[in-house]
Chain A
Amino acid sequence: MDPIFDDFRKGYAEWDGYKVSQTLTPIPPASNPQKLYNFFRSTNFATVQKDFKYQLVYNTTPFKLPADEANGWVEVYHAYWKAVGEILNAENAPRSSTKGAWIKVYDSWKELINALIRGYSNHGFEAWTVPCLYVAGKFLRIFAIKADEGTGTGNGAITSFQDDFNPEAEKNEKLEDAARQLNRIFQICLADREPLDESRKWGIYNIINLLFKTYFKLNSISLSKNILKAIQAYRGDMPTLESFPKAHQVTFKYYIGVIYFLEENYVESEKNLTEAWQLCHKDAVRNKELILTYLIPCHLLTTHTLPTLALLSPYPRLQKLFLPLSRCIKKGDLAGFDAALVAGEDEFVKRRIYLTLERGRDIALRNLLRKVFVAGGFEEAKDPAAPAVRRTRIPVAEFGAAISIGSKETMDNDEVECLLANMIYRNLMKGYIARERGIVVLSKGGAFPGTGV
């Protein structure tokens, strides 16, 4: 047990929350893979509390912890010790019945969370130690997922007086519970009324990010709104987001961006994702890839622009995702676009970008129609000195022919008109349809806004 308490004292002496939090990780360092095992074996159920008390309460070198706080930490490490026992146990559990073991891990880890929460609310743990909450919360989520995914049956108690059974809840029982526990941590951070420099509020965004991550996994993204409402209500007493560690900011902005994205609020989404993109550490390739996964479709809809090859070059996965579609959009190849969308459907759906990318078809169509317009050439000039004017009266049939070729299916006139009407309605094309005469009258000044013609 000594190495862990040595680290604890060292971290405590330096007021280094991250160092202290490292003593609570359930993963042994690569340099000492036996660390957890040794720690667990260094004491036993009968004497553990006494031993830890000795380490934390009576051992006064190099400093003495206040008794109350020390007792709180004894509880924390006691819970940690028990959890470590369960973890070692679960890692050796037979493959056929991992669930029960991981459920025990989860429950014991939850006790650790409880001990920590009590530490902050009753034993006067200081705010600089909040990284302990990060570590505890992070692994609570991981253990919950393991417990839910485990094979075999758990205790199988059924429960609740619902009229209908709830398959989702059964599947994610522990993770849902984890979300509740994280929410408790969120609350003790949010409601701390100490002055800002020693407030647990500094832990808030890390915990929020964990919560978001959990909600996304649970497919109950709407719950994120409650969190946002809560911090909105406290915004007066809260440090600004910019003063938090960059890592917290980037993750937070990323999630906010994705939440807006899913609500089809592409403008806000783009704003947040762009900020996340700019703040993101240059070597965090995986994170940058995630940000771009949503930022690119966003950009396609808001500005009708496609990603450049240079942007995509470091991310082979994104190239695979976006390049085929981009090419078709550029060419106005409707059939190709449809095929690419079908080909990538599973992947797009998984990342929840399918419905957004689908709307890229409008841009492909716009590009196709623009080609028709450009191919139509210029009006015969009455005055050779005046700048040439493009032909702006185009028969619907010409567009129809282009669409039929582009989409490789024949389309009747009414449907072609419908698509054109839609282009006009969405401001991708300027002009009107004179149905009786079967022509489209396009605007002389910029028939296809933003494309130079």
Chain B
Amino acid sequence: MYSTMNTSWVVPPPPGTQGQPYGYQSELPTPIAFHPPTTLRMAPKRRTDPPAYHPVQVRQTFSQPALHYPPTVQQPPPPPAPPVEAPGKQKIDWPASVRNYVARSFEPANMHPDVSKVAMEAKLKETISAASASKTLFTIDWDNLPLPKDMILQERVQALRLEQEKWQQQSVDMQMAGNGFVDITASKKRKSQEIGGDNEDALPPWRTTNTRNGFEDRVTFPAERFDKRQQPFQDDNLKGTSKFQKSLEKRQRRFDGGYKSSYKSPSPEPMSGPVVGTCQTLEKQYFRLTSAPIPSQVRPESILRQTLDLLKKKWKKEGNYSYICDQFKSMRQDLTVQRIKNTFTVTVYEMHARIALEKGDLGEYNQCQTQLRALYAQNLGGNPVEFKAYRILYFIHTSNRTSLNDVLADLTTAEKKEKAIKHALDVRSAIALGNYHRLFRLYLDTPNMGAYLMDMFVVRERLAAMSSLCKAFKPDVPLRFVTEELGFESDNDAAQFIYDYNGQALLEEKEGNLRFLTGKAAQLFEVARNEAFRKVDIKGQI
């Protein structure tokens, strides 16, 4: 089904041209009809006062429903917010914490090159007037509140992401409309977006998480402190060293600031607790997170369980790997952001690992197996024996000795006796000792889905075995012998293998039997062997 959808994709209109007939302010009334009751709570409160001024919404959320283009760096300053000492309001005695906050915002160390002063002033005004309007001036933890520049950066990221999602949602809507599922005028996209914005952000995050929200101690602070100290010293320094040295060092600092730059990442930090999802749709396309997840776009476990059932059915029926892989990735993401680690998590990763194995997508498989290893360590059930065996085979394939050593270190004595693991360990030792005879016996008797992994390196090992054979056996051996020793299904397959490496001339018929002229083949297979061992695609990414 997915594949047919693919073909019927409608190209969405370019940004800026899409349904914005009323422009900036008229956005508000339309979506209200779709608001779930919870989101309504905030809105009317604001609307009760007759607007004494140009009705600009004080922005209370980080999402920007009004902006339907990704904001550019030079954000136009929002129309002037009402002066805080608006007529009719009594003069406010600003708490010291607020003053400090304002002062802090304009410290040179806290300036960000991408955020203009104008934008910052506007943001500051907005924040403070919102606080005074909601009478929270004295309750907000101003010391730990993100600075305006951070808020602005965060908003931008969020807006960008919403934009992307909207695009995506829109295209889905259009397909659905095309299939007659949804009346496109009902604009489902809008709804989901609004929910997305309001639900989470009905309260600004700094108010919902009054505890230290990880902002200052994890990110902003170290960088700030660093900068603050650096600034004055830089100036002192100009006198001492030569200008050249100076600029060099500046440059140098930029480099070792490689670490710092991760501090400065404009994306907002996640809140300290896991998200609790509220999304009710089963399917969801995978997107790499660039900012804190939005609960309305995260599916809770109950929904994910249904999703898994759906995916199982779809995989059986359609076998569309790119769709399945994408869906599984979004499932994994939802599990991770909600910190769900239980038997169900194990099932999801195992399923994905198996499907990836079947399709030879070693990159995804490897991601899953890494997670599974950690999950098994917590005894959450699942099939640790089966997957530990795969893990061994995988590292044999990638010739990753360090990891192989680690796997060995992880196994308990009891596990080493389990059939699948013992098989994998025997494969490993057979290869290490060059015992191709045993290796291909094991190959023909691989438990579970291990054969998919063994297939990855069996050609390489056959070439290695061929090299040995050709060097040791003179003058020839029956083709049958090659078939049996190298685990081919038939003489034909063995012959084909030799043909594949241009060994046509090395097969000869003698007394009704095909014989393989080992004595003459050594060079040929030695070259092929070295070639095969030279390149091991470690990631195996598709």
Contact = CB atoms under 8 A, between A and B. Distances in A.
Nearest to B519: A432
B432 A355 contact: yes
Contact of B433 (A68, A158, A359, A435): A359
Given A159-B218, A361-B433, 20 more contacts: A68-B237, A122-B230, A122-B233, A124-B240, A155-B217, A156-B272, A161-B293, A163-B289, A163-B329, A163-B332, A164-B332, A165-B339, A183-B256, A187-B256, A349-B409, A355-B405, A415-B437, A418-B485, A424-B472, A433-B472
Contact of A122 (B237, B272, B405): B237
B406 interface: yes
Interface stretch (B97-105, B308-316, B463-471): B463-471
Given A122-B233, A358-B429, A425-B472, A161 B290 contact: yes
Interface string B235-263: 01100110001001100110110010000
Interface in B422-442: 429, 432-438
A188 B254 CA distance: 12
B336 A421 contact: no
A145 interface: no
A135 to B, nearest CB: 20
The number of chain B residues touching the other chain, given as a range, is: 35 or more
B267 interface: yes
A163 B288 contact: yes
Interface stretch (B79-87, B109-117, B195-203, B366-374): B366-374
B389 to A, nearest CB: 18
Contact of A418 (B292, B405, B436, B471): B436
B433 A422 contact: yes
A103 to B, nearest CB: 11
B226 A355 contact: no
A434 B474 contact: yes
19 contacts: A118-B230, A122-B237, A162-B336, A163-B286, A180-B259, A219-B406, A262-B401, A355-B404, A359-B433, A362-B433, A418-B438, A418-B485, A419-B435, A421-B473, A422-B435, A422-B436, A422-B472, A434-B474, A435-B481
A123 B471 CA distance: 68
For the complex of A and B, 8 pairs with smallest distance between CB atoms? A421-B472, A161-B289, A167-B374, A418-B437, A422-B434, A425-B468, A432-B474, A424-B472
Of B245, B248, B402, B436, which is in contact with the most chain A CB atoms at under 10 Å from its CB?
A: B402
B229 interface: yes
A421 B471 contact: yes
B274 interface: yes
A262 B472 contact: no
A149 interface: no
Of A158, A187, A264, which is in contact with the most chain B CB atoms at under 10 Å from its CB?
A: A158
A162 B289 CA distance: 7
Interface string B160-181: 0000000000000000000000
Contacts of B233: 118, 122-123
A424 B401 CA distance: 25
Contact of A421 (B248, B249, B409, B469): B469
A404 to B, nearest CB: 15
Interface string A316-352: 0000000000000000000000000000011001101
B204 interface: no
Nearest to B333: A163
